[in-house]
Amino acid sequence: MKIFDKIKEFIIGVRFEMKKVNWPSWDKLKSSTSVVLIFSAVIATYIALVDFGIGTLVKKLIEWL
């Protein structure tokens, strides 16, 4: 029975804290999501280019040896 009391207390605490959350507006959420997606694409492209460059360099080095 003690475990159910702890679960109940946890859920009550979660509900209390969720009432204090300041949710962003729909427009703010869309603009923030756009920024994250664009930044992620830029970083992924950069990492892919660096990976390709290092891979090519290692292949040339192995061929040379």
Condensed to tens digits (0 to 9), the pLDDT of residues 2-42 reads: 899 999 999 999 999 999 999 999 999 999 999 999 999 99
Condensed to tens digits (0 to 9), the pLDDT of residues 41-63 reads: 999 999 999 999 999 999 999 99
Give the pLDDT band (50/70/90) at residue 65.
confident
Which one-letter amino acid corresponds to residue 47?
I
CB 29 within 8 A of CB 21: no
Joined together, the tokens standing for residue 46 give: 């950069």
Reported pTM: 0.64
Supply angle C-alpha 3, 18, 29, rounded to 5.
Answer: 135
Joined together, the tokens standing for residue 56 give: 């090519």
